[in-house]
Structure formats: structure tokens, C-alpha cells
Amino acid sequence: MPRKTLEIDDFTNPYAPRKKVLQLLTPEECTVKLRTNEESYLVNRGNGVWRYDINQLASNDPIEDDHVTQIIAAPSPTTGEGAQDVTQPIRDLEPGQQIRFVQNASGQFGDWMFWGIFDGHSGWYTSDLLKRQLIPYVVRELSNLYHQQSSLAGSNSPFLAPSSLAIDQAIQRGFTALDDDIVINSVKKLFRNPSKRLAADILLPAHAGSCALLTFFDSQTGRLKVACTGDSRAILGRKDRKTGKWVVEVLTVDQTGQNVQEANRLRKEHPGEENDVVRRGRVLGGLEPTRAVQTLLPKASSAISIAQLLLLCTDCSSATHDINSPSQSNINSNNSGADKCPQTSNHPLT
């Protein structure tokens, strides 16, 4: 039986557009492709999340997107210290597999469980960086918050968990601190040590960026937090106890130029440029997300312009310096058109 085909316009060469014929996959081939990267895991921590499942489908090669899972033993509520990574290589879920519960490493303080999804654009550099660095930055801010809370409580007072708002702000600080460190440290290093190799290492991947969706669950308090920068979407599915049917709740708001509130925010922050800052539902007519990590072009700053960086790259010496990996030295700016600060939301699981 001949395969079905689909004819589309091919604009690879804009001066000679032509038609391109694609062969469609069969339903069986589609199923195999969709299930190729399926993974299921058991979490043997005795409390909180029991199982999680992962799937990923690449839309380009190399894939620009990434994901991460990390479980952190929460710090002592009396000292704010002791947070440690307890993520372990967990076996794939197998039929009939026996579950062995493991006590929390800290004995009583619960776990901080993180799941992150990073939708990269213009390359994989930023999503790879977020996979390795975003959770440690957020954990640092949360640990500092718990330590400050224990200091305020005093030795004779019962410890109270930080407020929901304080948790939101700590997560936001983690996002922005990582973004700021990439910008400030990279640019300062480049200006201190002018090098063509270092400039290329920083500037070549600088046009890349990524959306970031991070879920945080505290097994001790039962709090579920979702932080979103960009247009990745988190949903919560639950079974209605009365009807027995599954219902879906959207936990995030798409941060794109199609979102009227986001578009109005950008226009308000750029007086005199209202007609240009958002065009066709996209930032400057190009990128659709209005918030992202990195993404240099929409984040040009009055302090350090793209022209300055290109001029530095042209004039820098040929001396050799230590170079970070491409995924560690992208740049952007603080005074951005596309914001980097995530929106956080709090959702009860009951």
C-alpha cells in the first residue's frame, strides 16, 4: 500500500521557492516514534511523589530542549542547614516490581522535589545550562530563606515554615540570580581579559535562549509551586470524586505576545516604541515568548550594547585565556524587553 504524502512550500532558498513532498508516517510508526523516549521511575522516599513519567519528542537535530529531575533532602527547620542532593539513579519501572521505601536522608524534614522543562530556541546552549544550574540556584535561595526564618524564630520558639509569598520570592530570586550571573560575570570577564577565543565563546551562542518551567514540591508541607518563564505549560490532572471523570487544570499562564497583559506590560515599559516592541504577537516581531532566560537580541541594554561587544570582539588581542564551555557563557542584559523573572503559582493538591 503506497504511503500518503503531503506537499508543502519549501522556502529554503527564498529566491527560488519550490514544493516539497513529505511522506507521512503510518499510525504504527507514529506510535513507535512517540514512545521512543518514554521513561518511568519510582521514587523510594516514603513520602511525597511516588512515581513520575517522562517523555520527549525532538522537533530538530540536535534537539534544543532539555529536562531535569532532582530531589533534595530539605534542611533542618531549626538551623536551615543540611540540604543535600539525594537524587539517585532509579531503576525503570518494571511490571510487578516491589517498592522499597527509603527514609528521608535527614530523618524528619521531608524532601524538596524538582522537575524542570527547558524549551530552548536558537540552539541547545541555554537549555543545557539551565538543566545543570537552575535548581542549585533555587535551592540556595530556599536554604537561605529557611536559615533566616530559623534565626527570626529564636532557639525557644517553634519553627514556622516560610510563607507562601516568601517561597515565591525565593524561587524568583533563583531565576534572576542565574540570569544576572551569566550576564554580569561573562561581560566582566570579557572586558577584563580581551581575547578572541573568549569573545567568540561568549558571543557565538549568545543569541540562544530558553523558556524555563520549574515545579517544586515540598513533601513536608505539601506545597506545590510552579514557576514559568516563557510559554511552556504546566497542567494538573485529577479525578473528580463525584463524577469519576478526569479533569485538567492549567497551572501556568502563557507569556507571549498573544497574551494581552504581557503585550501591554512590554508596551508600558517601552514608551514611544509601542508599535514596535510587540508585532504580530511576537517581541520585536521575532521571538514569541515575552519572558526567557538569555536571548540576547531582545535584551539589548543601554549599559552594554551589542555594538560594544562586537567592537570588543574585533579589537581584542589574540592572547589565550581559560574558556568556559559554550553552555556556560551566554550573555544577555538586565534591562530587557523580554523579561527573565518567572511567574510563580501555588496549588493545593487536595
Task: List, for residues 16-41, the tens digit of each pLDDT value.
Answer: 778 888 888 888 999 999 999 999 99
Q: Is the pLDDT of residue 320 over 50?
A: no
Weakest mean pLDDT among 2-11, 159-168, 321-330: 321-330
Q: Residue 250 pairs with which residues in a beta bridge?
A: 235
Question: 306-315 and 164-192 are packed helices; what angle lies between their axes, rounded to 10 degrees?
Answer: 30
For the residues of 289-329, what is the DSSP string, one character each? BSB-EE-SGGG--SSS-HHHHHHHHHH----------GGG-
Q: What percent of the chain has pLDDT over 90?
A: 27
pLDDT tens digits for 287-297?
888 888 876 55
Handedness of CA 306, 307, 311, 314 (dihedral sign): positive
Cβ atoms 171, 229 nearer than 8 A = no
More confident: 196 or 99? 196
Q: Which residue has the higher pLDDT, 264 or 313?
A: 264
Best CA proximity match to 297, nearest among 207, 229, 186: 207
Model confidence band, residue 91 (pLDDT cutoffs 50, 70, 90): very low
CA atoms within 13 A on the CB side of 16: 1
Give the residue, 283 or 336, on which the prediction is more confident: 283
Lowest mean pLDDT among 54-58, 206-210, 261-265: 206-210
The pLDDT score that the predictor gives to residue 36 is: 92
Over range 37-59, report the average pLDDT: 86
How many helices, marked H, and strands, marked E, lie in the chain? 7, 15
- State the Cα–Cα distance between residues 90 and 218, nearest whole angstrom: 20
Of the candidates 86, 90, 82, the residue with the CA atom closest to the CA atom of residue 72: 86
pLDDT digits (tens, 9 = 90+) for 123-163: 888 888 899 989 999 999 998 888 887 777 666 665 677 88
Residue 11 corresponds to which amino acid?
Answer: F
Decide if 5 contacts 24 (C-beta within 8 A): yes
Peptide bond into 62 cis (omega under 30): yes
Phi (first) and psi of residue 64, to 5 degrees: -95, -5
